[in-house]
Amino acid sequence: MPVEIRRKNFGNTYVRLHRKKLAPTMVPGNNAFPVHPTLDRSLTPREAARIQTFPDEHIFTGARKEQCILVGNAVPPLMGAHIARELKKHILDKKYKGSKEDLLLSRNSSIKIKKNVESDKKLNFIDLFSGAGGIGIGYEQAGYEHIFSADFDPGVAETFRHNNDIPFIEGDLSDDIVFEKAKKIVGDKEIDVIVGGPPCQGFSMFGKRRFVKSKSHNPHEDIRNDLIFTYLKYVEEFNPKWFMMENVAGLLNLADGFFS
């Protein structure tokens, strides 16, 4: 679509992908993704999921709108896998002896990672605010044991349960009942890593902060922002060796750094 008539707030929706160039961020604007490289239509959620490096066999449930949201908001599993592998080096305190060939892209685009040959110890992780599960899939592919995932979104829960038999807690992580369920699942296990992405909308420059000139904008009234402290509550309770929190850069400067 010609630049001069595109809606500015849905820019990526109208951009045609190029076979030999990097794809733009998969933002599900207007329930659609960027335009297919050769066909006159937007990408399907499945095509966008492949760009996001989700395995082809990973099914996103729900109608197209829900699928677009799940895929567009997801962290790419490939990125999660790279982070997990680097983190493993620090936890095991050994130099990794693998090679570039450890990361293979199979014919069906599923990412497969060989086991770390240095140690038989299988590290574990918990995935909070899991979304479509991109980070969790990456950690699994890096050889970690998945203890449980949790998220408030029913669509996330349906998709997760369709693809996994791992425990999943559906509910508000700030709820004491949910917190107790998490403690029961963990039991006396020693947790190696906690990962998670508390909601970023309140911190993002593309959320309410785009209206920052409005005097009515008060970040302390957005209850989603407090969920980063909920995340830290779980970190304190389970005391992992490492934790990783995914969010946006706006977290650092919102309300003069109050949330950071």
Find out whether 167 and 190 touch, Cβ atoms under 8 Å.
Answer: no
Cα–Cα–Cα angle for 197, 89, 81, rounded to 5 degrees: 40
Q: Is 111 helix (H, G, I), strand (E, B) or coil?
A: strand
Query: Other C-beta atoms within 10 Å of 205: how many?
Result: 13
Please identify which of the residues 68, 71, 200, 251 carries the catalytic annotation: 200
What is the spatial distance between Cα 44 and Cα 67, in angstroms, rounded to a whole number? 9
Among all chains, which residue has been given the structure tokens 């490939």? 78
Does the active-site annotation cover 68? Answer: no
Residue-level length of the chain: 260
So which residues are the catalytic ones? Answer: 200
